[in-house]
Amino acid sequence: MKSEKTVEELQATHSIPGVAEVVIGNGGLPKVVTQISACSGEIYLHGAHVTSWEPADSEETIFVSKESHWEDGRAIRGGIPICFPWFRNKADNPKAPQHGFARITSWTLNSITAGSDEVKVELSTASNADSRVWWPEDFKLTYRATFGKTLGLELEMHNTGSSSLRFEEALHTYHRIGNIGNIRIGGLDGATYLDNTDSNKSCYQQGEIEFTSQVDRAYLGTDHSIQLLDPPMGRRVTVVKTNSLTTVVWNPWKEGAHSMSDMADDEWIQMACIEASNIRDFAIELQPGQQHTMRATIFVEKL
């Protein structure tokens, strides 16, 4: 579903001159771009999809594929897709869109607000005839992306219906990295994970994660911070999670990337996904009227 307002209308209502503008992005899709002294950043209304965050003292942190589709109804490859209300396939319907419908929905831009050296963009979407095709529940989802020295992401889910519901969620963040063979991910030592490359076999993480083949893992009961150590880029990226009890780590490796039409053959080397999430047994149950907010805050330090 396309955005109901034109880019000109959104720009007239929400832009903050010299700080944040609503412009036409790739594929004609509207996006909010911000340029302040702390950082530059951008978020598409399509999927409420962050596609860039470049802190002032660092290079771009977010990977986006040059082969990505940019069209209504298809997910952007890279950036920060929002997976909701299920993760991967929908168990009872193989035809349902992988990772849910939030990332292929056009969200409503609610507001852009400027704070002291940060810009907050708030978008929302709610149950409607399109969502009910796949999921019967009544809900409202609000997403706040705060661009500054840190990148703040906040996904707020509200059960607006009259019965309890259960959902999965993930902020499927594609981190831009120097080289997959030379990075390490810390903060998950001792955690149990389900290995999706091996029928979700339960495994035990010892030490840091290093990448020597395809990795597709859901780390369970992990609420602590994750560090992405990237010597080639000379930086450490930290993801601080709140109300997120699973962490998915993914790199498709050569074979996986080659099977994707929307990723160039060598791009798997430049990306690693670390996903604040609540999936599988950690799916969230909400009673009528209840809310749940998952947060991820990302910051960069020089090594």
- Give the footprint of ligand TA6 on this chain (CB under 6 A): 75, 88, 98-99, 172, 196, 216, 248, 250, 273, 275
The smaller minimum CB distance to ligand TA6, of residues 112 and 188, is found at: 188
The minimum distance between CB 83 and ligand TA6, in angstroms, equals 8
CA atoms within 13 A on the CB side of 30: 22
Q: Which residues pair with 22 in a beta bridge?
A: 32
Residue nearest to ligand TA6 (CB): 250
Dist. CA 115–CA 117, nearest whole Å: 6
CA atoms within 13 A on the CB side of 223: 7
The minimum distance between CB 242 and ligand TA6, in angstroms, equals 20
The minimum distance between CB 239 and ligand TA6, in angstroms, equals 14
The minimum distance between CB 98 and ligand TA6, in angstroms, equals 4
The smaller minimum CB distance to ligand TA6, of residues 75 and 237, is found at: 75
The DSSP line for 152-214 is: EEEEEEEE-SSS-EEE-EEEEEEEE-S-GGG-EEES-TT-EEEETTTTTEEEE--SSEE-SS-
The smaller minimum CB distance to ligand TA6, of residues 98 and 238, is found at: 98
The smaller minimum CB distance to ligand TA6, of residues 149 and 254, is found at: 254
The minimum distance between CB 100 and ligand TA6, in angstroms, equals 10
Dist. CA 221–CA 244, nearest whole Å: 9
The minimum distance between CB 182 and ligand TA6, in angstroms, equals 21
| Dihedral of the alpha carbons of 202, 84, 64, 296, in degrees to the nearest 10 | -80
Residues 6+ apart with CB under 8 A from 170: 82, 83, 84, 87, 99, 248, 275, 276, 277, 278, 279
The smaller minimum CB distance to ligand TA6, of residues 39 and 215, is found at: 215
The minimum distance between CB 148 and ligand TA6, in angstroms, equals 27
Dist. CA 51–CA 46, nearest whole Å: 11
The smaller minimum CB distance to ligand TA6, of residues 54 and 275, is found at: 275
The smaller minimum CB distance to ligand TA6, of residues 159 and 278, is found at: 278
DSSP state of 132: H
Cis peptide before 30 (omega within 30 of 0): no
